[in-house]
Amino acid sequence: MSGQASSQAWSSQKGAAALAAPPLAEKRRAFDGRVLLGFLLPIVIALLWEAAVVFGLAEGRLVPPPSRILGTLWALAETGELWTHVWATLWRILVGFVLGAVAGIVFGALSGSSQTVRRILDPTLQALRAIPSIAWVPLFILWLGIFEESKVALIAVGVFFPIYLGIAGAILSVDRKLVEVGQVFRLSRFQLAKRILLPAVLPEAVIALRSGLGLGFMFVVAAEFMGASEGLGYLLVDGQQMGKPDQILAAIIAFALLGKIADSLLVLLTKPLVRWQDTVRESL
C-alpha cells in the first residue's frame, strides 16, 4: 500500500510540474518570435530606403540602397576578402578583450574590496579614463610599433575601464546586511566571498563585461586606423579614400552583426552564472 501511495504521490508531483512548466516547443516558438521581432525595425528601414531610391525620391549616391550594399558584401565574401578582414578584426578584439577584462576584474576587485587600495588607485585610473582613445594611438605606436601589439593594447585599454568601474562598483554596492549575516554565521573570508559576495556581484559584473566588449568593438576601429592592411576598420578607411560609400556601409553593417553576435554569445556563456536571479525581465 505504501509503495502504491508513494507512486501516486510521485505521479501527481510530476503532473503538477508538467503543468507549471511551459512545454519546450512553446518556449522555442516564443524565442523564435522574439528573434524575428528584433529584425523587424532594420528590415522596415531598409525596405523604405530601397523604395525611396527605386522611385526616385532619393538619389542613393552617398547613402546607397540596401541592394547595392548587400551586393558589395556578397562580392567581398565571394573573393574571400571579407572573411580575411572579419577574422583579423575578431582576433584583435578577442585578445584585447581578454587582456582588458582580466586586468579590469583584478584591479576592480582590489579597489572595491580595500579602501586603502581604492584611495591609491582610483584617482589615477579615473584621470586616465578621461583620455580620449585616439590620444593613446601615437604613444602606443612609439612604444609598440605599428603592428598587432599596439592595436591589441589600444583595445585592451578601451575594455579595461568599464569593467574596472563595474566590478569595483558592484562590490561596493553589496548590501551590508548580507555581509553581516555571513559574519553572524562565522563564515571564513573565502566562504564569505564565495557564498555572499560573488553571487551579489555577478549580475553587475556581466553587465560590465558586456559594456567592455561593446567598447572593444569601438576601439578596434581606432586601432585599425593605425596603418592596418587587414580588418573591417581598414575597409572603412579604404572605402573613404576610394570614395566607395557602399563599402563603408557594408563594413559598418558587418561591425553591427559581429558586435551583436559577440554580445549574444557572451550573454549565453554567462547566463548559467546568474540563473538564480528572479527578476522582472524573466516575466516580460
Single-letter residue type at 238? D
Q: Do 88 and 54 sit in the same domain of this protein?
A: no
With H, G, I as helix, E, B as strand and everything else as coil, classify residue 58. Answer: coil
d(C-alpha 28, C-alpha 51), whole Å: 34
Average pLDDT, rounded, for the chain: 82
Residues 138 and 112 in one domain: yes
Predicted confidence (pLDDT) per residue in 115-163, tens digit: 898 999 999 999 999 888 778 888 888 888 888 888 999 999 999 999 9
Straight-line distance from the first to the last Cα atom of the chain, in angstroms, rounded to the nearest whole number:
45
**Sign (positive/negative) of CA torsion 236, 238, 244, 250?**
negative
**Segments forming the whole domain that contains residue 35:** 24-58
596603418: which residue's cell?
A: 227
Query: Which of 42-46, 161-165, 274-278 is predicted least confidently?
Result: 274-278
Query: What's the number of domains the chain is made of?
Result: 2
Do 141 and 43 sit in the same domain of this protein?
no
**pLDDT band of 104, cuts 50, 70, 90:** very high
What separation in angstroms does the CA of 160 have from each of 98, 133, 208, 222? 10, 12, 10, 16
* CATH number of 92's domain: 1.10.3720.10
pLDDT given for residue 84 in this prediction:
92
For residues 45 and 156, state if they share a domain.
Answer: no
**Could you tell me if residue 218 is inside a domain?**
yes
How far is 58 from 89, CA to CA, in rounded Å? 33
Q: Are residues 50 and 156 in the same domain?
A: no
**53-70 per-position pLDDT tens digit:** 888 887 778 888 888 989
CA distance 85 to 88: 5
pTM over 0.85: no
